[in-house]
Amino acid sequence: MPEALLVLADGSVFTGRSCGMEGRADGEVVFNTSMTGYQEMLTDPSYAGQLLTLTYPMIGNYGVDAAVEESACIQPAGLIVREAASFASHPRSQGTLHSYLQARGVVGIEGVDTRAVTRRIRRHGVMPGTITTSESASEALSRVRALPGYDDVNWVSTVTTDVVYDWDSSGPDARFRVALLDGGVKRNIMRSLAARGCAIRVFPAESRAHDLLAFSPDGIVLSPGPGDPRLLETMVAETRLLIGRVPLLGICLGHQMAARALGAGTFKLPFGHRGGNHPVKDTVTGQVTITAQNHGYAVDPAGLDPGAYVSHINLNDQTVEGIAMRGEPLLTIQYHSEACPGPLDNTVIFDRFVGLLAEVRGGVL
């Protein structure tokens, strides 16, 4: 394989080998600590505009399988791994990681000391970088330092659907109608809702509140997605109009938008939460679960509407992991309840949401 370079904006240079397409890929360099689920991560829209570093030392050993993809394409700008397995060892595999990246036109690098990359990000925070097979280190560094800031780009606009569509796995016996605002939705969110009797209609991110309400939904889901929620004030304003109209479930970016709609702020984490091993405590029950996460921003509860409260906290750094309202059917979570990849401890949030739909329809709330 041709030589490749990973160059970070702080001047760090890591030498490796090309994995996937030759060329160059630019983005914010982040890391994920999960041991498995690389294909689900690669198709997670929340990685749009980023270079994904996987900390587990061997990636690709079980190949790729179209059945586990979480969206229609690879979402990170590039992939950084220690070792990309040269052959796949799973009976369902349809190819190697290398051929998968090549077929999708994605630039990757292997042979990199991903432990060193991760330690640098943990010490200094996420930063721009590039993977390149066609430049010197000095040329790449000059280009990286001239890149627009990740926080200055509306990444949701690059991953949301262009058209309204119905998720085709809901089935004829669906009991509830759910409108989903697509900021970068993962398919397993829709699978999880459909499995609980929901017919799902997916709307573009810039849809207005009246567009979603015209569907006469029993509930609305605000999906995950990439980028800085401060750039999404139109979505926040429309979310504000939805609160109190029907039950709401906000996940990741959807959680941040709902929090902002309720008066809270958001801020960027130094290196984010990305992995399948984050402990979260329910502030009402005291129960602790292990969660899958992928986000670079968090909610600042200062200014939160007095009718809302922090329902979950992260036990590693005490950041807000969920909010709820005392008088309205609203739930939000910062983590990935649907996993894919990750532990399945938290799929219960979908049961709680569907329970709200049933209660409201029955006039209990």
Q: What's the burial of 127, exposed, middle or buried (CB within 10 Å: 0-12/13-18/19+)?
A: middle
Cα distances from 339 to residues 21, 35, 37, in angstroms, run: 29, 13, 10
CATH fold for the domain made of 156-361: Rossmann fold (3.40.50)
Q: How far apart are CA 313 and CA 311, in angstroms?
A: 7
- For 234, counting Cβ atoms within 10 Å of its Cβ (0-12 exposed, 13-18 middle, 19+ buried), the class is exposed
pLDDT tens across 9-39, in order?
A: 999 999 999 999 999 999 999 999 999 999 9
Averaged pLDDT of the chain: 95
Domain ranges of the chain: 3-152, 156-361
Is the pLDDT at 364 greater than 60? The verdict is no
pTM: 0.95
Taking alpha carbons only, the member of 350, 338, 307, 310 closest to residue 325 is 307
Q: Is the pLDDT of residue 238 over 50?
A: yes
pLDDT of 138-148, one tens digit each?
A: 999 999 999 99
Question: Could you give the CA distance from residue 139 to residue 308 in angstroms, rounded to a whole number?
Answer: 51
For residue 273, indicate whether it is catalytic.
no
Instruction: Report the CATH fold assignment for 3-152.
Output: Glucose Oxidase; domain 1 (3.50.30)
Catalytic residue among 98, 278, 312, 336: 336
Query: Can you give the pLDDT at residue 170?
Result: 59
CA distance 148 to 154: 12
359 assigned to active site: no
pLDDT digits (tens, 9 = 90+) for 85-123: 999 999 999 999 999 999 999 999 999 999 999 999 999
Tell me which of 225-229, 319-323, 346-350 is least confident: 346-350
What is residue 270's predicted lDDT score, i.e. its pLDDT? Answer: 98
The 10s digit of each residue's pLDDT in 43-79 is 999 999 999 999 999 999 999 999 999 999 999 999 9
Task: Specify whether 321 is catalytic.
Answer: no
| Residue-by-residue DSSP string for 139-165 | HHHHHHTTSPPGGGS-THHHHS-SS-E
What is the residue type of 144?
A: V
- In the set 252, 273, 278, 321, the catalytic residue is 252
The crossing angle, in degrees rounded to 10, of helices 253-261 and 233-242 is 70
Flag whether pLDDT at 159 surpasses 80.
yes
